[in-house]
Amino acid sequence: MKHYLLLIGFIVAVTCSSLLAQEKASLQPNATILSILQSDTGKTVELRLNSGEKIGGKIEQVNDNLVFLSHLTGAEFFDGFVNIKDISAVVIRSAGK
């Protein structure tokens, strides 16, 4: 019976880990930081800022000037706003190979 429970636990763990990975990102013609953020609303990302700092969280809303992130990485009970002009890169978790 223990072996079956262990097997079921392993199957659940593998299934959940594959569900957490997001689909592979792709580059569209004429893509901008703004369009990438808008298309990834609801996903967890890491933003690399022009200053060299990183900030991660779930994209809640995006407008022409700001990105609203919730559940900030390392500060899950905080939300934040980031100026679009301060973002140099968007890092998105994708499915493994």
> Tens digit of pLDDT per residue, the chain (97 long)?
555 555 455 565 655 544 444 455 566 778 888 888 898 899 999 999 999 999 999 999 999 999 999 999 888 788 999 999 999 999 887 765 5
Residue 63 lies in a domain: yes
Structural domain containing residue 28: 2-92
Closest CA to 95 of 2, 7, 20, 5: 20
Residue 49 lies in a domain: yes
CB 90 within 8 A of CB 33: yes
Residue 59 lies in a domain: yes
The model carries a pTM of 0.68
Residue 97 lies in a domain: no
Q: What is the CATH number of the domain that holds 77?
A: 2.30.30.100
Residue 78 lies in a domain: yes
Total domain count, the chain: 1
Cα 65 from Cα 83, distance rounded (Å):
6
Residue 9 lies in a domain: yes
